[in-house]
Each structure stands twice: as C-alpha cells, then as structure tokens.
Structure 1
Amino acid sequence: MNIPNFITLGRIVLVPLVVWAIAASQMTVAFFLFAAAGLSDAVDGFLAKRFNMTTELGALLDPIADKALLVSIYVALGITGAVPRWLVILVVSRDFMIVGAMIVSWILDNPMPVKPLMASKLNTVAQVSFAGLVLAALGFKFNASPYDVILMAAVTILTLWSVVLYFIAWVRHIGTTEAM
C-alpha cells in the first residue's frame, strides 16, 4: 500500500456517496463528489508515474475504481431519468461484455492481456464528460443543450466502436493462440 493506492481506495469509497447524492436529488453535491473523484484519479496517476510508485495492486484497483464510479453514476442517472435508459444499458453492457470475454479467455486457459485500446480511452473521456455535464447542468440548473446531445452521441458511437474493436481483438487472440 502506498499513497496512490490509498487515493484510489478513497475514490472507491466516493462511489456510494455519489450514488446517494444522485438518489437524494443533491446534484450539486454529486457533481462536486464526481469532480473530486476525477481529481483523485489524476493525482494518483501522477504520483504513481512521477515517483515510480506503481504497484500491481494499483494497476488492479485503478480501473476497478474508474468503472465502479462510471457504471454507478450512469445507473443512478438512468434510474432518475436524467439520462436515457438505453444509453445506460449500452454503457453497462459494454463493460459486462469486456469482462465476460476476459473471463471466457481465462476459463479457456488462454488469458488475454489487459491493455486499453485508444477507442476505450476516448470512450472513457466521453463518458466522464457527459456524466459531468449532466451532473453540472442538474446541480447548477442550466441548459446544457446542444452539448449534452453532442456528448451523448459521442458516448454512443465510441461505446459501440470500442465494443467492436475489443470483440475483434478477442476473436483474434482466441483464434491465434488456439491454432498454435
């Protein structure tokens, strides 16, 4: 355990607090908690890389914290009707498909290396931006149009694009190593 790992654990602790704030219609609080989580992600990443504090635990916890936060926020915003439910289903299903493919690879004794694609990184930026904009618009009561529609379209396209690319990579991985 080191400082970046503690910061990452703090981000995980923020997940239920953000969900509570959304469920309680405390959108300004939810926005600031979400912003704090985003800042903590940047800080733990900077510290880990800059001061050579990367650990296996951190490499495991960081994506878990990120996914837990994003999936939870999208589900909570979907339940409240702040974002379309079809988008929530798309975002959550993508993550389940990727995890499912990794589990199948592992069961087949052919684990796939975990490395995010550029499409996935862009997708994460779009998802974070859209969630942040929705929370800010609700918390500070302003009209986010047309930026909300643009970001929602970006989330949709990038989510679908990353699913296709991950599926292709998974099929290639399974096919090439079984042929050996």
Structure 2
Amino acid sequence: MNPANKLTLARIMLIPVFIVFFAEYPVRLADSNAFIQFLNQYGTYMAVGVFVLASATDKLDGYIARKYHLVTNLGKLLDPLADKLLVSVALIMMVEAGMIPAWMAFVMIGREFIITALRMAASAQGIALAADRYGKWKMVSQVVAITAVLLNNYPFQWLTSLRVDSFLMVIAVMMTVMSGYHYVVKNVKLLI
C-alpha cells in the first residue's frame, strides 16, 4: 500500500477517534471516571483537532498521489469515501448535539448520495467522473464551517456579536447545493 493510500486510511481511522472525543458522556460515568470527565470538559476541542488533522490529510494524500504518480483504483475509491464519512459523521453528531439544524445535514449528506449515485451510473457505463473545482470548494467550505461551529463561534465572538459560525454553515450549504447542481448538469448528459 502506497503512502497516499495509507494517509487516506488514516483519515478513515481518525473518524472513531473524533466520535470518542466529541461524544457527550452521561454525568454518572463522568463522576466515576476522570478520563470521561476530561472528555466531557475538553473533548470537543480535541475533536476539532482531530477533524482538522483528518481534513488536512485529504489535501496531502492527493498531492502525494499526483506528485509521485501513486494514483490507484483503491485511492480513487477510498479518498472520496473518507471525505464523505468524515463530514457526514461530524454533521450527524452536530445535529445530535443541537449545534446545527437537521435540514443542513440532510442537504449536505443528500448531495453526497446523489453524486455517488451519478458516479456509480457512469462507472457502470465505463465512464469515470472526476471531481471538479466546485466540489473542492464545497469541501473547503464544509470543513471551515464545521470547524467554526464545533468551536462555538470562537474566536469570532471576540470580534463581533454576529454568529459567524452560523453564517459559514449557510455558505457551506449553498456551496453544497451549487456544486451538486453544477456536477449533475455537467455530467448527466454523458449518461443520456
């Protein structure tokens, strides 16, 4: 397995770590376990670090694969899957924690199902649909927005009373819809 694919697998393996750090544990467990108490107090910040680290590996594994000609079919499969899993898990847990409304997660995760279905249909016809720049911008906007929401508007709270994290999440939803629309319009004619 080449270094790019190892980074992609590391991104997938960081997802359970993110879940452990982000989860809110019952008070009765925290009272009897110092580590659980620590996680309840600081786990969200640790989850942010894991999320940012995992997100950064996306850029790095792609760079390594292209620069050293290590692009493989396994990498083509795992890389977008790792992205979708990471973002989807973060969104679902944020909905559970009451940090974002469920409709935002539904839109962002729904877009991924639509694009995946389109790619599968294309693949069945022997057509490989590559990611485009709109999808990359979408991913960046999602990572920035999710990070801002996880940090509960920090450090923006010191600069303004506006909820910059909420604004960034709305931008991420709009980028998600725009990139999905663009991708479908651009590629659906290849399948007809």
TM-score range for the pair, normalised by the shorter chain length: 0.7 to 0.9
Q: Does 1:51 pair with 2:68?
A: yes
Separation (CA, whole Å) in 1 of partners of 2:119 and 2:59: 26
Provide closer, same or farther for how the CA distance between residues 162 and 142 of structure 1 changes in structure 2, counting only shifts above 3 A.
closer
Shift of 1:116: 1.3
**Partner secondary structure for residue 89 of structure 2:** helix
Separation (CA, whole Å) in 1 of partners of 2:129 and 2:16: 27
Number of equivalences = 172
Shift of 1:119: 1.8
Gaps of 5+ in 2: 25-39
* Worse-superposed segment, 88-97 or 115-124: 115-124
Separation (CA, whole Å) in 2 of partners of 1:152 and 1:96: 20
Gaps of 5+ in 1: 176-180
> Paired residue for 1:2?
2
* Worse-superposed segment, 158-167 or 124-133: 158-167
> Paired residue for 1:22?
22
- After TM superposition, what 4+ stretches of structure 1 lie above 3 angstroms from structure 2? 103-106, 140-146
Separation (CA, whole Å) in 2 of partners of 1:127 and 1:111: 30
Matches within 5 A, 1:1-180: 1-24=1-24, 25=40, 26-106=43-123, 109-137=124-152, 143=157, 145-175=162-192
**Corresponding letter in the other structure for 2:133:** M
Shift of 1:110: 2.5
Shift of 1:113: 2.1
Separation (CA, whole Å) in 1 of partners of 2:52 and 2:146: 10
Shift of 1:77: 0.8
Shift of 1:62: 1.4
**Corresponding letter in the other structure for 2:2:** N
Answer yes or no: is the 8 Å Cα contact 2:99–2:149 preserved in 1.
yes
Shift of 1:142: 7.0
**1:65-110 CA distances to partner (integer Å, 9 max, x unpaired)?**
111111111111111111111100100111111112233445xx43
Shift of 1:131: 0.8
**1:32-81 CA distances to partner (integer Å, 9 max, x unpaired)?**
11122123223323322333333222222111111111111111111111
Under a length normalisation based on structure 1, what TM-score does the superposition of the two structures give?
0.83
Answer yes or no: is the 8 Å Cα contact 1:18–1:30 preserved in 2.
yes
- Compare CA radii of gyration and give the structure with the larger one: 2
Shift of 1:160: 1.4
Provide closer, same or farther for how the CA distance between residues 56 and 110 of structure 1 changes in structure 2, counting only shifts above 3 A.
closer
